[in-house]
Amino acid sequence: MSTQSPSELAKAVTVALEKYFTELNGETANAVYDMVITCVERPMLEVVMRQAANNQTVAAHILGINRNTLRKKLSDHGLL
């Protein structure tokens, strides 16, 4: 089974962002930070919750965040 290292994930984000800026064709970029976080956060939460068998305490530990923070993020993404 193949897993992505953090550097491979960073490379994937870099490639996606470079493509994004290229496709703007001179238009001004706006709210890039929020766009990236939103695009990455939801699938990350989905995968981690599956890995944790939907146990929020375990998922929060895997993510290195507080369980209440995890619940807020799950709620924000409609994953509760």
Q: How far is CA 52 from CA 35, 36, 39, 44, in A?
A: 26, 24, 21, 12
Confidence grade of residue 2 (pLDDT, cut at 50, 70, 90): low
Q: What's the pTM value of the predicted model, to 2 decimals?
A: 0.79
Q: Which domains does the chain have, with CATH numbers?
A: 6-76 (1.10.10.60)
pLDDT digits (tens, 9 = 90+) for 29-79: 999 999 999 899 999 999 999 999 999 999 999 999 999 999 999 999 999
Rounded CA separation 76/78 (Å): 6
Q: Which of 75, 33, 50 is nearest to 67 (CA)?
A: 75
Which of 2-6, 18-22, 24-28, 68-72 has the least mean pLDDT? Answer: 2-6
